[in-house]
Amino acid sequence: MSISAQEAQDQGVKLFGQKEYEAAARLFQQAQELYTAEGKPDMAAEMMVNTALVHRALGEH
């Protein structure tokens, strides 16, 4: 069973809130790829921003 872009995004947000940053980043990347495949560039861009927020939280800025 595959995960939808929205499910990946939602799980990523939950993990980010729990400070599980690496796992959140993987889910945001997955959501970005899925949104791109679905022809939703605005949502794909939002996932890039979320990934950047993970890197900032990890002190990788």
Q: What are the pLDDT digits (tens) for 22-57?
A: 999 999 999 999 999 999 999 999 999 999 999 999
pTM: 0.92
The residue with tokens 């495949």 is: 37
Report whether pLDDT(1) > 90.
Answer: no
Q: What is the pLDDT of residue 60?
A: 83
Residues 61 and 55: their CA atoms lie apart, in Å, by 6
Q: Over the stretch 3-26, which tens digit does the pLDDT of each residue have? A: 999 999 999 999 999 999 999 999
Are 56 and 30 contacting, i.e. CB atoms less than 8 angstroms apart? no
- Structural domain spans, the chain: 5-57
Could you tell me if 8 and 28 are in contact, meaning their C-beta atoms sit under 8 angstroms apart? yes
